[in-house]
Structure 1
Amino acid sequence: MLKFTPDHEWLKLDGDVATIGITIHAAEQLGDLVFVELPEVGAELTKDGNAATVESVKAASDVYCPLDGEVTEVNQAIVDDPAVVNSDPQGAGWFFKLKLKNPSDADGLLDESAYKDLIG
């Protein structure tokens, strides 16, 4: 099940673990990424806190954590080749996996229909 945030992050939920990245819309708005900085495995992140940083030829942007949890895995492939985020933002371009403190909190996020309405 995919969920979205108003800040253009997506989550794919699998039990109490969420795979998190930026949306296709966000990748298109940023343009070609040249740098990605990810959180450390084991880091405790809080909802709406800064989780990662991306830099494109246009600007640097923060990626926010959609829910509280602990980072269990990061995608080193996008650090090595940030263009993967541009080519497949909601697939191979995922950023990190988060073990959620309260998986039910995801119910408060946007579904795909609501996100599409948001970006219009």
Structure 2
Amino acid sequence: MRKFAKTHEWFDTETYKVGISEYAQEQLGDVVFVDLPPVGKEVKKGEVILSIESVKAAGDVYAPVSGKIVEVNEKLNANPELINQDPYGEGWIVKIEPSNPSEIDELLTEEEYKAQL
């Protein structure tokens, strides 16, 4: 199940994948670079975990939950445009193993997220 942060990140509760929403990638425009964090990095909910650069702007991606980054999407090094082409699939960015699973309950459902846009 996909849940959303108010800051436009999504979190898959089954695979622990994190990415940015369709809306966020549309606002950024064509993504040209993703500054992937190191695997093993501990993150806190709400803190910046990486930056994304597009032809229009640069934007930060925030941790939707606290935990440890257990995987990064290496495909983005050569193909950052995957974020635009498939934000909920091949364009995932990192996997975060949650350290506080109750934070997942604080995230928005897709309907709640769309209502706040």
Quickly name the TM-score band, shorter chain normalised: over 0.9
- The residue matched to 2:16 in structure 1 has which SS? strand
Number of equivalent positions: 117
- The residue identity in structure 1 corresponding to 2:73 is N
CA–CA distance in 2 between the matches of 1:76 and 1:66?
A: 20
Query: Which residue pairs with 1:93 in the alignment?
Result: 91
Unmatched 5+ stretches in structure 1:
none
Unmatched 5+ stretches in structure 2:
none
Deviations 1:15-64 (A, max 9, x none): xx621000000000100001101111000011111111100011111100
Q: CA deviation at 1:104?
A: 2.2
- Quote the RMSD (CA, aligned, Å): 0.9
CA–CA distance in 2 between the matches of 1:49 and 1:110?
A: 18
CA–CA distance in 1 between the matches of 2:49 and 2:78?
A: 18
Q: Equivalent of 1:62, from 60, 63, 84? A: 60
Deviations 1:66-104 (A, max 9, x none): 111000000010121111110001110000001100112
Matched, 1:10 2:10: yes
Matches within 5 A, 1:1-120: 1-14=1-14, 18-119=16-117
- The residue identity in structure 2 corresponding to 1:70 is K
